Amino acid sequence: MEAAARLGRLRREAAEYYRGHRVPERMEEALNALFPLCPEDLYGELANYLSKFSKAPVICKLVGRKVFDGVGQPTLEVEIYCTVKNYEKRICSTVMATHSQIPENALPETIEADAKERNDSVHTAVEWVNESLSTMLRGLEPTDQCQADKMLGEYFANKVEEKREIEKEEEVGQEGEEEEEEEAAKVAPAPALRPPTPKSKQKKGGKGKKVLVEVKPIPPAEPAEPVLSGSLAIGGTSLAIARAAATIRRVPLYLHTALLKHNQETPKEMTLPLPMVTLLNCEKNSSTKLKLVKEVMFIPPVELSFKQGIERVLDIQKEMTRLLESPGKMGLFLFCFQPPASKGVSRLGCLRTGYDSLEQLLLQMQTACNNIGLELGTDMYLALNCAAHELMDYDKEKYEVLTGTFKSPDEMVAMYVEMINKFPFIIALIDPLRKEDREQWSSICCALGSKCYLIAEDAATQISQLKSDQNINIAMCSGVVLKYINQTKVSDLIELTGILDGQRHITILGSPDGESSDESLVDLAVGLGARFLKLGGLARGERVAKYNRLLAIEEELAANGALR
């Protein structure tokens, strides 16, 4: 009797439990809906039908690990695990690209110190992900990108404040030691220093007289933004959460990004960014003279599909390789402009070489195109990355554009105006000046803004410094190259591209120098509506993978009738 009573009570509790969750009602709905279909896999269809009533997946843990990027440098991988239908499931992972602020001509000890700092930063990032961030984000729905990025931003701000407090304590300790040393040594007060005399130069006047003209000093270089050790964890986690949300929603990352930017409103059409494909990496340290150009990039005309544009660039690349490997066969009219042979493939995934003049470089570009029946300015366009911040000689306060040839910021503007007028097929200049030369940025934009894009890459500083009271804190320019590095979050890119769109600046998403095999950057560029995508060349696997991803997106959008 007692066992029967207990069994009856359990049956009543079970019935009440299932009725409370509407199980009988929903089972009846499922059976009625599926019977006319007579699915081959009935239980599979039942599972699919009922899964829409299950709880949303939530993050249960993050896993961070040290991996290596495309050039063998350490970087961070972040894996997302979610609780899905009561089971722990690995959803996705992302690998962060790395960016170095060390110039090409850095000393060996500087490069070694940077490598150690990078390794320490990755180690710290792995600790943050596996410990603090995994605990902090547990139970959060990956689809709530805004909340996730808010929490990540607050965590990072606290880490920055912690570092500042430590530095203050160290400064106080150092000051105390210095005061004790001064008291013990009874150092006499130092003589007052005279203020620096402004530079002047002699200018010839009439009748042999010389007039002293004061030369305005150039603005000093702004210090590089310090990178907090471990900051990769913030960017890696934010991007991993975005990918997890796209996976859970069963949509591509580019569409998920577009939905985030446009408040969950599905765009009817999407436009692919135009590729800036790097063909040549001109070494500034080589025995050749030209220092003005760091990268030579091709931009296909807009009327071509992405696939057609890439195929055209590949044809030019093959011809350029042939010309560089057999310089004696380029034709008699090039006898005074023979470039050195190619020096292999750079980390940017392109041919590495050098030239003695800009005319020599551009003449070879024209020759390569003409040899395969193409014309620069019609069938293909050029973009030049000048990386002007690497050209400044601060002793002379001038840019070294050729070995031994120096130009002031104002002379640089005049040189670019002459260049674009002479070679109109150059439609974009990246970093033609340092970011500090704001007056000259305004001048060059007024002179050339209607003829070519004037783009800030290094001149745009870090993303965290770009936002200032809903304004873009950079010199006047046509657009900005944004890179997903360090503590950058997906929400930062969405906000910043919205501001750029509102100010009619163009957005270029750029690939850092230490690129990984992760393809997320391409999806972000498409979803954010970037005008250009700067991925490097077509000769390294981690970069070619991104071009292949863009090919796949083009096919998918075209098949769905959503390609503008």
Instruction: Indicate which residues carry an active-site annotation.
Output: 486
CA gap 15, 340 in Å, rounded: 84
Q: Cβ contacts of residue 509 below 8 Å, gap of 6+?
A: 273, 481, 482, 483, 484, 521, 524, 525, 528, 530, 532, 533, 534
- The encoded tokens of residue 137 equal 């984000």
Phi, psi of 298, deg, nearest 5: -105, 140
Hey, what are 251's tokens? 């949509």
Neighbours of 160 (CB within 10 A): 14
Q: What does the DSSP 8-state code read for residue 341?
A: P
Take residue 50 and report the two structure tokens written for it: 């009922």
Question: What are the backbone dihedrals phi and psi of residue 478, each rounded to the nearest 5 degrees, phi first?
Answer: -80, -30
Report the alpha-carbon distance of residue 256 to residue 426 in Å, rounded: 35
Q: Which single residue is written with the structure tokens 């009271």?
A: 469
Given a contact cutoff of 8 angstroms between Cβ atoms, the answer to whether 123 and 66 are in contact is yes
3-state class of 459 per DSSP?
A: helix
Secondary structure (3-state) at 56? coil
E strands present in 301-404 = 351-353, 381-385, 392-393, 398-402
Please name the residue ranges forming H helices in 353-394: 358-371
**Helical H segments across 373-489, by residue range:** 409-422, 438-448, 463-466
Taking Cα atoms as reference points, which of 513, 286, 498 lies closest to residue 403? 286
The terminus-to-terminus CA distance of the chain in angstroms comes to 75
Longest dimension (CA), the chain: 130
